Structure 1
Amino acid sequence: MIQLPTHGRYDYSAIAKRPDFDWPGGKRLAVYLGLNLEHFAFGEGLGAELAPGGPQPDVLNYAWRDYGNRVGAWRMLEMFDVLDMPASVLANSVMYDYAPDLMAAFRARGDEVVGHGRTNSERQSELPPDQEDALILEATEVLTKAEGKAPKGWLSPWIAESRVTPDLLKKAGYGYTLNWCMDDQPVWMRTEHGPLLSIPYPQEANDIPSIVARKDGADVFADIIIDTFDEMFEQSKAQPLVMGIALHPYLVGQPYRLRHLRRALQHVCQHRDSIWLTTAGSIFDYCVETEAVPGPP
């Protein structure tokens, strides 16, 4: 029989055949916002594009992305305050030098900060292990110094992993990763340094694949969030689930998209008494404290 290459990080498990548990307060659906705060190099490196880029320096696309930090993220912060929604802030470490007042504003809200590399102009998966290790440690040191505590979780820029990324994350002290989108429940993964929790981070209810890749309109992306929520709310009667909503201020912080996003988040908040509106870090803490999710064998 053919043996396909495998990662060896987790085993197959059917969601319908797992032990049942509840989220805090007997809730069945945990919902969190993953807000990406990113900064990009000028005239080089990676970056999403509003329109096909020309020769570097690509001023149009650089400035479009920078709108997210200068305007879009502030509008979203105001919206989160009005809706009383916490956020998991997925932060490039260079954001602390580039936009320290923006990082301070989310810190003042008490939001969780998640490691998100140095900048989204680079992919860590392209580096040899020693350089990837140095990147993780550098980003972690910046976040720890600024926030007064080490981040619990990590999302790689561009969801880029080498074959040793989970091992390096665990070695650096991380408890969870958002890189793997293979499930609607947290899953413990094996690493050389002990278990690392994979918390679901969406690639469907995510504005990058929707708006940048599929060219969905603002109304379509908002409907994706609403329909995903409604369906998972029903599904969670059978199994406790995690719904993440992945957002980038240079996309959904644009005025016409923000209006549709507000409509979607208002729909979610109408059910706040029946769901666990939380952060990725709190999901991790609950899984560790209760041992609700079986660890890797």
Structure 2
Amino acid sequence: MSAPASSKGFTWPNGARIAVAVTCLMENWSGDKGPPFSVQTTSLKPGTHDRAAMTWGWYGSERGVWRLLKILNHNQVPATFVANAYAMERAPAAVDCMLKTGHEIAAHSYTQDALMAYLSPEEERAIIEKCAGVFRKMTGAPPKGWLSPVLAPTAHTEELIAEAGFLWYGDYNHIDLPFCVKTKKGTLVALPHSDFADHRVLRGNPRDWFDVYKDTFDYLYANEPTSFLNITLHCHFGGRPLMAAQLDRILKYIRGHADAWLVRHDELAEWIKANDIAEWTNQQRFFGT
């Protein structure tokens, strides 16, 4: 594994030109709730129980996760499943398969509607501890990574995650490369996430999702050595055949590039932390000065 090349930046292990992480979000909502979005264009009257939305959301942990696991394993691509703890409880066999086939499972609150932005610091700490307890019970270890539902943290979340002993944290919307963040409660690795998850083509052509990731990969590969790309999709939509087919296509395309580093979030974060990678300035990254 290569170390940082200089104080101006670093090089990925083994001379890779680009690091690619695959994020599969496995989400479930509480009670009889479901996603606030779907392929349907007709909204129900306010206050009406939306059974269609509820069951559409169930698909992820009951069906979609298995198709994604099959595609990832067939292409020999390690991924990070970012999972609500409740979704894990609903799908213990899938959790077992993730672990046995070499994937990471990261924390994503307890349910998808348990948003950190609505909680007090005490409530945030309690839900983080609740999720860690589910992980210990189901996986034998606490999670290494945390991504808040809808990437909606509070001003306290980062330090609470560090305090809880996490390795990486993903609620950052202003970065495009991973680096170490020093907090009062310890060091975290900041991991950027995607602006174009599968929901962007919810009522469009799934090939647009493939085109966006292929074009982005090609640009970064050609123009920005030591770049990073996070490919993101949801088990309840991306796990359906119309979207899963595009995941299979993009993985096969990227696998055709020998110097692309396909890596789990935790493995990437461990490398970043071991090499104490700091945030690049714009001048360092784009002008080499």
Structure 2 segments unaligned to the other structure (5+ residues): 1-6, 281-289
**1:1-297 residue pairs with structure 2 within 5 A?**
19-44=8-33, 47-51=36-40, 52-54=42-44, 55-204=47-196, 206-208=197-199, 210-212=200-202, 215-237=203-225, 240-271=226-257, 273-293=258-278
SS of 2:8's equivalent in the other structure is coil
Aligned residues between the structures? 272
Closer, same or farther in 2 for the Cα pair 1:53/1:138, shift >3 Å?
farther
How far apart in 1 are the matches of 2:30 and 2:39?
Answer: 16
Is the Cα–Cα contact under 8 Å of residues 23 and 231 in structure 2 kept in the other structure?
A: yes
More displaced 10-residue stretch of structure 1: 86-95 or 62-71: 62-71
Closer, same or farther in 2 for the Cα pair 1:192/1:291, shift >3 Å?
closer
- TM-score when normalising by structure 2: 0.87
Is the Cα–Cα contact under 8 Å of residues 180 and 272 in structure 2 kept in the other structure?
A: no
1:222 deviation in Å? 1.1
Is the Cα–Cα contact under 8 Å of residues 45 and 122 in structure 1 kept in the other structure?
A: no
How far apart in 2 are the matches of 1:178 and 1:291?
Answer: 18
How far apart in 1 are the matches of 2:148 and 2:81?
Answer: 13
- TM-score when normalising by structure 1: 0.85
Is the Cα–Cα contact under 8 Å of residues 170 and 191 in structure 1 kept in the other structure?
A: yes
Tell me the amino acid that sits aligned with residue 235 of structure 1: N
Closer, same or farther in 2 for the Cα pair 1:227/1:63, shift >3 Å?
same
1:186 deviation in Å? 1.0
Is the Cα–Cα contact under 8 Å of residues 33 and 244 in structure 1 kept in the other structure?
A: yes
The CA RMSD measured in Å over matched residues stands at 2.0
1:46 deviation in Å? 5.6
Is the Cα–Cα contact under 8 Å of residues 95 and 103 in structure 1 kept in the other structure?
A: no
SS of 1:252's equivalent in the other structure is coil
